[in-house]
Amino acid sequence: MDEIIFRSSQRLENVEMQVQLVSSKMKDLINAYLQQSRALIYQVWNSTKIEHMRLNMRELLNYLLAAAHDFKEKAVDVADPKRLYMFLKAFVGGRWSKREISLVCIGFLFGGLVGLTIGLSVRRKESTIRYMEAVQLNQYLGIESVAVVEDAIAPHECGDYDVLIDVKAASVQIIDAEICKGYGKTLRKILRRIFKQSSSDLPVILGRDCTGVITDLGEKIKRLEIGDEVWATVPFWSQGTLSQTVLLSENRVAKKPKNVGFEGACSIPYAGSIALSILNQAKLDVSNAEKKKIFIQGGCTPVGCLLIQILKHWKAEVVTSCCERAVPVAKALGAADIITLDTLEEFRSKIFLEHEYENNEHSNDQVDLIMLIKELELRGQQYDVIILTRNDRFNWKHLTRFCKKEKSIFSSLPPDLLSDSCGIIGRNLLSLYIKTKMIMQTILGAPLDDYDECHLCYETLNDLTHGVENGYLQNVVDKVFQPKNIEMALNHIQSSKSIGSSVITFR
């Protein structure tokens, strides 16, 4: 044991000596390097080139000082009133008196001041940043990520075909809740860049329609005037309307019906445009809808309320489903028959037994579908068209047996977008495809009506205005919220108990 300790101590001493030797050598190397560096710097500083450069810099500085001194003396001489007077007197050859020369000088001075004043008044004003209140989304994390901000940048300059609107009210739509979860984020980023709205998809201002008053418009717009009361719609990828001021293309704006207020009117533009688009897809119009039997699932959604009224005006027979609270509204709107979903709670346990759903493992969506099918079976009717306006996540095939012909089921809800799951490569390829397609459409003169744009235009809004002013379209507003209650509004519009539209007012 003692021998082991002795050998270990010897090894430690050897290591210690080697460390001291290495440190001593490192110290010597560093000192040598510092000495060489000092010698090199001294050699460079005292070289002929550096000395020549210092002399040149000194001469340049002396020259600049002398030039400044000469300029100062000449400026004083030139500015001397006596010298100026003598110069002018010699220039005019003694033909002008001292008084006349004084008047000329005063005239030059006065003219210069007037010109300076005019120039300052007509110079281009610097753009000022204005702020506004807006309902904004900064992350795609659901309804909880929505915030009301006071410092959103407000638009205030109109292009030739732009309209600036002071927003009075805007509605909340089901698609706004989907946007909070990331709906359309890829297309939003691509299209906002193409249409020069922004280089990013965030932040997003929610709201797909609004009512308000025009405060400014482009020089080439003839259809509208400042002070007009208007309503407007925008597609899912564009900045929204839940803000105090919006800047929109003229194509999105039309005059509001005169016989309805701002809050009531804003329940119609977006939902009505969707309703007319669905009817167009179903190839239904005033000429062929008479006596056809139409089933509307969710008749008291914003879209459902308008579909019932339009089809009633076209003399179609409308059957709809809604909650018990909404039955009086559905009847007043013109539904011929109503499936009251709340009463189906009485059949819930019975349906579970018949379909072996005792464990209640299936979602409410599937249960609602089963209950709806049960009621449709009890009625034993077939429909020319079935339109889904609420919760179309279930399989449509279950409803095809209630259609008179194939491909007669349509949905007004936002379709799933494959682009939302694209990676970086997929987004770049999609962006290239969209840009190429739009260039070709522009060259060929084809309308740029893709991506939820075709029906969101002033022509559709004019049709809705005609319907409201002629009395066959009524606004249905369930609740009016303040901007600070946006989460409550978004949750309410998704509830099966809601009736018609939920509105945010900015007045």
β strands within 143-259, DSSP E:
146-154, 162-172, 204-205, 209-217, 229-233, 245-249, 253-255
* Residue 486: predicted pLDDT: 93
> Are 83 and 135 contained in the same domain?
no
Pull the structure tokens for residue 210. Answer: 């609004």
Q: Please, which residues have CB within 8 angstroms of residue 188's CB and are 6 or more apart in sequence?
A: 201, 204, 236, 237
Show which of 120, 141, 159 is a domain's final residue: 120
The reply to whether 60 falls in a domain is yes
Rounded percentage of the chain residues whose pLDDT exceeds 70 = 80
Show which of 62, 87, 120 is a domain's final residue: 120
> Are 93 and 188 contained in the same domain?
no
Decide if pLDDT at 98 tops 90: no
The reply to whether 179 falls in a domain is yes
| Cα-only R_g, the chain | 39
Q: What is the pTM of this model?
A: 0.71
* Residue 406: predicted pLDDT: 82
The reply to whether 361 falls in a domain is yes
> Are 306 and 377 contained in the same domain?
yes
Cβ pair 464, 473 in contact under 8 A: yes
Q: Name the one residue in this structure whose structure tokens are 């709906």.
A: 183
pLDDT in tens, 447-481: 655 565 678 889 999 999 999 999 899 999 999 99
184: CATH? 3.90.180.10
* Residue 387: predicted pLDDT: 93
> Are 398 and 428 contained in the same domain?
no
The mean per-residue pLDDT over the stretch 211-234 comes to 94
> Are 401 and 427 contained in the same domain?
no
> Are 392 and 294 contained in the same domain?
yes
**The pairing of beta strand 146-154 with beta strand 130-137:** antiparallel
> Are 116 and 137 contained in the same domain?
no
The mean per-residue pLDDT over the stretch 367-390 comes to 84
The reply to whether 125 falls in a domain is no
Q: What's the length of the chain?
A: 507
Cβ pair 255, 433 in contact under 8 A: no
> Are 189 and 251 contained in the same domain?
yes
322: CATH? 3.40.50.720
The reply to whether 413 falls in a domain is no
> Are 110 and 141 contained in the same domain?
no
> Are 442 and 368 contained in the same domain?
no
Question: How far is 326 from 334, CA to CA, in rounded Å?
Answer: 13
Show which of 407, 441, 462 is a domain's final residue: 407
Question: How far is 476 from 271, CA to CA, in rounded Å?
Answer: 11
Task: List Cα–Cα distances, 127 to 156, 157, 170, 197, 431, in angstroms.
Answer: 10, 9, 28, 18, 32
Q: Nearest Cα to 370, choosing from 392, 342, 398, 332?
A: 398
Q: Nearest Cα to 501, choosing from 222, 336, 261, 271?
A: 271
Give burial (CB, 10 Å; 0-12/13-18/19+) of 399. Answer: buried
pLDDT in tens, 415-446: 888 887 787 787 788 888 888 877 887 777 66
* Residue 265: predicted pLDDT: 94
pLDDT in tens, 143-202: 999 999 998 888 888 888 999 999 999 999 999 999 999 998 888 888 888 777 776 778
Q: Which residue has the higher pLDDT, 77 or 343?
A: 77
Band (pLDDT 50/70/90 cuts) for residue 92 is: low
Q: Please, which residues have CB within 8 angstroms of residue 204's CB and are 6 or more apart in sequence?
A: 136, 137, 179, 188, 239, 240
The reply to whether 5 falls in a domain is no
Q: Classify 296 as helix, strand or coil.
A: strand
Determine how many CB atoms are found less than 10 A away from the CB of residue 155.
Answer: 18
* Residue 502: predicted pLDDT: 93
> Are 342 and 451 contained in the same domain?
no
Q: Nearest Cα to 408, choosing from 390, 392, 442, 385?
A: 385
Phi and psi dihedrals of 244, rounded to 5? Answer: -70, -30
The reply to whether 54 falls in a domain is yes
Q: Nearest Cα to 262, choosing from 10, 16, 507, 6?
A: 507
> Are 391 and 289 contained in the same domain?
yes
> What domain range is 72 assigned to?
24-120
The reply to whether 486 falls in a domain is yes
Query: What is the tally of structural domains in the chain?
Result: 3
Rounded percentage of the chain residues whose pLDDT exceeds 90 = 38
pLDDT in tens, 116-149: 777 766 655 555 778 899 999 988 988 999 999 9
- Residue 152, beta-bridge partner list: 132
